[in-house]
Each structure stands twice: as C-alpha cells, then as structure tokens.
Structure 1
Amino acid sequence: MRDSGNKPFWRAKTLEEMTDEEWEALCDGCGRCCLNKLEDYDTGEIVWTNVACSLLDGEACRCSDYENRQETVPDCVGLNPRTVREITWLPPSCAYRLVDERRDLYWWHHLLSGSHETVHQAGVSVRGRTVSEEGMELDEFEEHVVEWPDQNPGEGNRPSKNYENNP
C-alpha cells in the first residue's frame, strides 16, 4: 500500500489520514496490548502481566471476536489517534505509537517483511507466553507480573529514529 508519492502509507500519512484498511493493517499482531495491566491506586504506576484477555487467541495473537470485543469486554480500549497519544502503556514497538512519533516500523512488521509470522519469529509477540484470564480472580493477577511487554524488542530490531528524510 503506497500513496501517490510512492512512499508506504505509514510514512506518508498521519494516523488521522489513514483509511480504515490502512489503520487495521498497521497492527503488527504482537498481542501485547491485549495483556492485562495493573495500576497502583496511589502512584498511578502501571505494571504488565502475562494474563491475556479472554478474547485473545494466544496462537494467532489476534482477538477472537474483534468486531464485538468492546461489548464482550467493556474495559477493552479501542485504539484511535487520540487514545494512541493518551495511553502510556502502549508497547515501545507498537506500530501506532511509532507512526505517531514519525518513526519507522521494525523489520519484523508484516508490512515490511511480507509475513505475519515474523513478529513471532522475532520473539516480539505474546505467542506461548500468556495465561488466560478465564476463571482467574483479579487478586491472582499479581502473581503474573512481567516486564517483557513494556521492553523494546532488542537492539537488532530497532527502527530508524525518524523517517522524515528517508525514502
């Protein structure tokens, strides 16, 4: 998907300018945003867990009921340009975050690699690293605190800092 200037859409457009198809294509399929987070009531600090939303297909790293997710899971946060800028817990490798910051996508993103498997091959996705929230009590989530979802996926995976002048 390229614009008339022959740049890929994620380099040529802002989040607001993207079509629905482009917006959906931007998701890298890592599944990190579908992990439960815990917020400290006093400090506001957010920590990640490896507890996945009940709708997350842990193998595909996609929502199993994407169209109805917000009815089924009322606290599911729908991403749009405003929420991308407001929420602080988007993973550092999130394509929406990167595009908003005018940074390039990682090599393993399917729009660059041509395969939805590279996000898993690069070890960035949640595949094989989660437990379901199904049947779990909220106080049990604390036993599943992890740091990897909020970490950058590694030096070798780093995107360019800025693509304003890159083709």
Structure 2
Amino acid sequence: MITLTEDEKRMVFQLEGCHRYDAIQEIAVLCQYTRDHNKKATAENLLKKFRELSEDDCKELICDIQRNYHLPWKARTIGEMVAVARQESGARKLEGHDIMALERFDPEVTHMIVFDVLSRESPVGDKGHRMRLFLTEAGYEKALENQGNQYIHIRNHARVIAGNLKYDHTDKDL
C-alpha cells in the first residue's frame, strides 16, 4: 500500500466518491482550477499515486481514510465541513448519491430511497448493488414502478424536507 502525506489524506477525506475513476476526475478538476500552488502540487502527487493503484486498492484506501481520518483542527472549509458531516452521520457508502449530495438540498427533491438492484434490466444501477438516490415526486413514482416490476427492492425511504430526512422507519439496518 502507498503512504500519503497529511495534506494528501486531508484531500482524500474530502473526496465525494470512493471509486478510483471518480477520485481521479475530481482531483484533476481541482488541479485545473486551483490557484493555490501547494494544493495543486499535493493534488498532482496524489494523482500519480492513485494512477498506480488498482480500482480495488484505491477504493479501499479512500474508504478507509474517509471512515477513520480526523482533521487535526476544527473544519475550516466547506469541503471539510461536508466531509466531517458525512463521517459523523455514520451512513454507509452506497452507489448512487452520497448522503450529503447536493441533490438532497434541491427544493424539487422530496424523497430519498435506499434500495437493492435485483435485475440486470433495472434502469438504474447494476444487479447486486445497494444504492441511495434523492428523487423528485416523479422519480419516486418511477422507483415504485421499478419495484413493482421487481427490478429493485426499496429497503428504506425518507421524506426530504429542506435537506432534512424524515425516515419512515428509523430502526432499519442498512
């Protein structure tokens, strides 16, 4: 396994996803647009390290840091605050939308579902994956239709009100 500097760990901690491709894309965008030379150098070094890793090793490294890393100070940036909130929520990393995804705060979004993909014919996700999606009313109706067609099985549902989640069942283990 590779060794990361403290700055690299802090950058990984703030990544939205945990897949190698997504992480590389997110860091590459940061490299392209940051004006901070130190941050750019950190990002470029991290890109080199991630490109040497397999998908599985990269995902394991990212998920481990996002679960176990603690900032050496109080969160100061939006990225750090979101990463800390994501970590403190204890929500399991799922395919689809992150628990703190921007979609959650869209005024049109009224539902959050966690579901298992049961079929290769499912219009969303791959068979065997567990996913989280934030949906509009129309999207939720489509999800119920997909459940009726046995493409998915909804494990949990929450109403989304101004970004806050009101779960139907708070005792479900996901």
TM-score scaled to structure 2, two decimals?
0.25
Name which one, 1 or 2, has greater alpha-carbon Rg.
2
Q: Which has the higher strand share?
A: 2
TM-score scaled to structure 1, two decimals?
0.25
Q: Which has the higher helix share?
A: 2
